[in-house]
């Protein structure tokens, strides 16, 4: 299959050149980075933005009268406005900076403790990342709530019929993935949220794997909470976003207290500040937030529709080349998969395959992908995952297939 030339109407090599990590060689091979779903590489503008903060504007935000703090605060809060526009939140107070998707979900699950009672039902999709399972299990331990997994169909898609049956239980919370981190399958998120809302459930969407590939409009999705991480979308590690409807955020019990989130303190009483401060305790990840802002600016300057079409063509090519190779088991393959392909070499341990690929400078992820219930539903102890980003090109896929064929010839 030849990628349609009409798809890439921009200089893709010039885009790729902005990612310094991709220019390295490992041994005698150029780096073939197919682990973007774990963490994306960073463009130079993100690295530069963080360096500039540390070199010239290093100060705490919101707390000092001097110019360094003023500049840092202005940069920090400007990113909140960027995120508001990026996901189409209705107001900037609905955007909370966290350290990542995991912390965002934990904040919601902890914050809902007083609103959940014994025997309340919490629905979670079976393909969820552990970060969207364990915090709800802990909430259930604290409150006596009951976790119900939403099963998958035989082709590893979320079972809509089973979901509708579970909704008859009138769940209090429905926590679902926008895109599976392990399989790349895309859930019909608008439909799922609408069905959950119809029975009065609060909805949380894990968008960690979606925001780098898809345009996200939280008002259109109509969810109560949407969470994602900066490092999955070409920004730095250590920063994430909790979006929530203002009313729902304002009713959360803060998971962390002290510092930034305080309005007044005495030994008789503490009054928390207003949103977003009341959910942002302590010194935030200032440099990382600024880096996230640079990543958003970087993405918004790109022809995103063309890039999505490029990624979709590349995904189809990757799937077809794996099928053509033979002796490859593919999981969750669908026409609209985004970003990732899960596979195994028949009869071989996924870790062995990953190590042998690494010896040829091909970086893939091997293991359970923080989705052990999903692996159990597929009767697997793990698999390999090749995942792409905006910088991935056909040469990466060809290098990967060539390397995997060498592994196959060695092992089979």
> How many angstroms separate the CA atoms of 32 and 13, rounded?
15
pLDDT digits (tens, 9 = 90+) for 128-158: 999 999 999 999 999 999 999 999 999 999 9
C-alpha distances in angstroms, 143 versus 33, 103, 116, 253, 327? 43, 20, 6, 14, 48
pLDDT value of residue 401 = 98
32 is catalytic: no
> How many angstroms separate the CA atoms of 285 and 263, rounded?
21
Residues 6+ apart with CB under 8 A from 32: 360, 361, 362, 363, 396, 399, 400, 403
Q: Are 391 and 385 in contact (CB under 8 A)?
A: no
Residues 404, 409, 412: CA angle, nearest 5 degrees:
105
Catalytic entry in 32, 223, 366, 370? 370
Chain-centroid distance of CA 185 in Å reads 13
Joined together, the tokens standing for residue 296 give 């958003």
pTM over 0.75: yes
> How many angstroms separate the CA atoms of 361 and 355, rounded?
10
pLDDT value of residue 260 = 85
Could you give all domains of the chain from N- to C-terminal order, each with its CATH number? 12-36+303-411 (3.90.1150.10), 48-300 (3.40.640.10)
Q: Are 275 and 246 in contact (CB under 8 A)?
A: yes
> How many angstroms separate the CA atoms of 197 and 245, rounded?
14
* Preceding amide of 175 cis, omega within 30: no
Which single residue is written with the structure tokens 């968008």?
207
Residues of the chain with pLDDT under 70: 1-9
Q: Are 61 and 211 in contact (CB under 8 A)?
A: no
Q: What is the SS3 assignment for 70-90?
A: HHHHHHHHHHHHHHHHHHCCC
pLDDT digits (tens, 9 = 90+) for 288-324: 999 999 999 999 999 988 999 999 999 999 999 999 9
> How many angstroms separate the CA atoms of 370 and 382, rounded?
10
3-state DSSP assignment of residue 311: helix
With both helix axes pointing from N to C terminus, report the angle between 394-411 and 350-358 in degrees, rounded to the nearest 10.
Answer: 120
Q: Quick one: CA torsion of 33, 35, 37, 43, rounded to 10 degrees?
A: -30
> How many angstroms separate the CA atoms of 59 and 328, rounded?
53
> How many angstroms separate the CA atoms of 122 and 119, rounded?
9
Q: Which of 389, 384, 342, 339 is nearest to 366 (CA)?
A: 384
pLDDT value of residue 7 = 43
Chain-centroid distance of CA 75 in Å reads 24
Across-strand partners of 29?
26
Residues 6+ apart with CB under 8 A from 14: none
């Amino acid at each position: 299959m030849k990628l349609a030339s009409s798809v890439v109407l921009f200089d893709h090599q010039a885009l790729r050149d902005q990612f310094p990590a991709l220019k390295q060689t490992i041994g005698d091979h150029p780096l073939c980075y197919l682990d973007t779903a774990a963490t994306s590489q960073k463009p130079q503008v993100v690295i530069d933005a963080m360096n500039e903060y540390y070199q010239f504007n290093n100060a705490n935000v919101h707390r000092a009268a001097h110019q360094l703090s003023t500049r840092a605060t202005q940069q920090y809060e400007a990113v909140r406005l960027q995120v508001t526009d990026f996901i189409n939140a209705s107001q900037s107070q609905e955007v909370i900076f966290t350290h990542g998707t995991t912390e965002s979900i934990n904040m919601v699950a902890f914050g809902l403790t007083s609103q959940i009672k014994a025997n309340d039902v919490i629905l979670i999709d079976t393909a969820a990342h552990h970060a969207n399972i364990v915090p709800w299990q802990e909430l259930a331990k604290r409150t006596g709530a009951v976790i119900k997994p939403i099963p998958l169909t035989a082709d590893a898609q979320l079972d809509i019929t089973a979901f509708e049956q579970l909704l008859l239980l009138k769940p209090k919370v429905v926590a679902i993935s926008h895109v599976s981190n392990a399989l790349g399958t895309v859930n019909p998120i608008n439909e799922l949220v609408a069905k959950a809302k119809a029975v009065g459930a609060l909805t949380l969407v894990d968008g960690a794997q979606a925001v780098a590939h898809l345009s996200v409009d939280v008002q259109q999705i109509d969810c109560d909470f949407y969470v994602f991480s900066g490092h999955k979308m070409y920004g730095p590690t250590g920063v994430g976003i909790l979006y929530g409807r203002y009313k729902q955020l304002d009713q959360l019990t803060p998971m962390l207290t002290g510092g930034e989130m305080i309005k007044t303190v005495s030994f008789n009483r503490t009054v928390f500040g207003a949103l977003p401060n009341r959910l942002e305790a302590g010194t935030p990840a200032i440099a990382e937030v600024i880096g996230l802002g640079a990543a958003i600016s970087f993405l918004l300057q790109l022809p995103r529709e063309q890039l999505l079409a490029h990624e979709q063509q590349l995904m189809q090519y990757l799937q077809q080349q794996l099928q053509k190779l033979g002796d490859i088991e593919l999981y969750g393959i669908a026409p609209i998969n985004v970003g990732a392909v899960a596979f195994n070499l028949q009869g071989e341990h996924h870790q062995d395959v990953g190590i042998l690929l690494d010896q040829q400078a091909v970086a893939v992820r091997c293991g359970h992908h923080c989705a052990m219930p999903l692996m159990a539903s597929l009767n697997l102890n793990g698999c390999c995952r090749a995942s792409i980003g905006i910088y991935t090109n056909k040469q990466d896929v060809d290098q990967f297939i060539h390397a995997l064929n060498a592994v196959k010839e060695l092992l089979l």
